[in-house]
Amino acid sequence: MFWVVHLAAPAQVSCWHIVWVPACPRWCRYRRVSRLHPDHALKACYRPFPCPACHPREGRTTTHIQRREIITLLGGAAAALPLAAHAQQPVMPVIGYLHSGSPSSFAHLVAAFREGLSGGGYVEGQNVGIEFRWAEGRYDQLPALAAELVGHRVALIVTGGGDPPPLAAKSATTTIPIVFTSSSDPVKLGLVASLNRPGSNVTGFWTYTSQLGPKRFEVMRQLFPASTLIAVLVNPNNPNAHIDMPDLQNAARTVGQSIIFVTSSTETEIDAVFATLRDRRVSALLVNTDPYFLARRDQLVSLAARYSVPAVYPWREAVAAGGLMSYGASLADAYHQVGIYAGRILKGAKPADLPVIQPATFELVINLKTARALNLELPPKLLALTDEVIE
């Protein structure tokens, strides 16, 4: 059934009518003006025929209205069009951001992620939203935080802060796209089927941080003889610690280096570790990759200076804060690339078709001011290999 407006020729009729008529082929020449209901529509007829109020036909019901009323009705329908168009605008996509650390310690990496995202045309607050979930170093909270993001039906999940966040996200969903940064081999972790063809809802950036243990030991050997003892700091609360420790033992054995492991997962325990290093007469410290240690880099650098312990880190950020040396991939570049991938996925790309990104280069960064404070003479060969020297 349709509401039909008959606009008859002035010579035949002097009033306006809305006529309730059955929808049938006789009325197929009416032109639709606007939809009022899925089963009814306002239509206008420009065929001059006798006024239906004066010549009623069987099967119709007529209602007389004034010209002013029909104009008001048409105007109201037209005014509703912008509201309907507004209601049909696409909903802004939301990215879930899952991290094992805290926002204050990783603000520079979030900024790098936003830059990569904006390169794909997405700006937070304008055409994309971001929901952050920070574990604050409590790895056991990651599964619940990942489940929260899945429950909010985010468009995709971005993870940072080591291997536990992407593992938690992958356990929480098999459909929502996930873009990660991982320090360990994502194939061995079970995140992807292969680096070139991830084959699932997961892809991202592999920083190689855990695989660079042998290279860091090699760099340290240029500073200290093989007879010296080197300590390796690991976080026992990190689920990957049991994987990293055998790998580090093998790496030390490869270069003939004697090592001991010291563990810490709190601020107080970090203080105690350096007292142990002094008592054991350790020559140097290798800090294992861990988001908590990256967040506590200022404390580590300060204690290393107080106890005169040369320390090597996986991240440039620690050397910029006053640490002696670092060797690894650029974390800022990794998060920037993750932002680019997130933008591509929002535009329709599938994670299964996006290869896992690997670093093109690794950076050796040395702080000369710290080396002088430790009375270390850096070999010319080592300086020649350095990518960045901080004075």
Domains of the chain and CATH, by start = 2-87 (no CATH), 94-208+332-353 (3.40.50.2300), 212-328+362-390 (3.40.50.2300)
Q: Determine the pLDDT at residue 136.
A: 93
State pTM to two decimals. 0.76
Measured in degrees and rounded to the nearest 5, phi and psi for residue 341 equal -60, -40
**Token pair 């489940």 is at which residue?**
147
Write out the two tokens for 327: 């060797």
Taking CA atoms, 358 is separated from 94, 107, 149, 207, 314, in Å, by 26, 23, 27, 6, 16
Q: How confident is the prediction along the chain (391 residues), in pLDDT tens digits per residue?
A: 434 444 444 444 344 444 444 444 443 433 333 333 344 433 444 344 444 444 444 444 444 445 555 455 555 555 555 554 445 556 899 999 999 999 999 999 999 999 999 999 999 999 999 999 999 989 999 999 999 999 999 999 999 999 999 999 999 999 999 999 999 999 999 999 999 999 999 999 999 988 888 788 888 888 887 668 999 999 998 877 887 788 888 878 877 788 999 999 999 999 999 999 999 989 999 999 899 999 999 999 999 999 999 999 999 999 999 999 999 999 999 999 999 999 999 999 999 999 999 999 999 999 999 999 999 989 998 999 999 999 8
Residue 219 and residue 382 in contact, taking contact as beta carbons nearer than 8 Å: yes
In this prediction, residue 36 carries a pLDDT of 38
pLDDT for 265 equals 92
Q: What angle do CA 256, 257, 259 make, to 5 degrees?
A: 145
Q: Which conformational region is residue 334 in: left (phi greater than 0), alpha (psi within -120 to 50 degrees), or beta?
A: alpha
In three-state secondary structure terms, 376 is: coil
- Between CA 312 and CA 288 the distance in angstroms is 9
The sign of the CA dihedral 231, 299, 132, 138 is positive
User: Which of 240, 180, 181 minimizes the C-alpha distance to 213?
Assistant: 240
Dump pLDDT digits (tens) for 154-202: 999 999 999 999 999 999 999 999 999 999 999 999 999 999 999 999 9
